[in-house]
Structure 1
């Protein structure tokens, strides 16, 4: 079974560039980019749903969202901690429904 990768980023240009780089190495349908501000719960939930719709399932989540902005520590905590917990909560809810 070949890997499939979903990329989420609030920076559309960076996300599209990353997807294009992966598409050059792998089949295009194996990657999807969803523009998403991970600090926005509704965008995060919508991105999660788009990934499930695109691939039909979810097996593994690797969440490496992260920034380092000492001047805006609240945003840093929101991105580096809260968004990761939120996405994993969506994942757990999905897996509990999918595999029970």
Structure 2
């Protein structure tokens, strides 16, 4: 996540609750919404599902939902990432090499 933040990506943490849904809207036309992570392990092995649809009206609705949820999200900064607890940093170093196997 640090590399993404360093390169200018915006990351926001939804505050009301944990939100497991993944939403992807491309060119206001294609929508993927569901619980599947956007990686090959999730697609091939995990028991999750997503709805993929080409429809500009649905895409506009999902963009509106995203914008509404973004109002209740807190930006996650590079400074916050760098100052996370040592316990988290240590855990990441141990878990990252084996993460794809979990």
Is this a same-fold pair by TM over 0.5? no
* TM class, shorter-length: under 0.3
Question: What's the TM-score once normalised by structure 2's chain length?
Answer: 0.27
Higher RCO (C-alpha under 8 Å, 6+ residues apart): 2
Question: What's the TM-score once normalised by structure 1's chain length?
Answer: 0.27
| Structure with more helix by fraction | 1
| Structure with more strand by fraction | 2
The higher radius of gyration belongs to 2
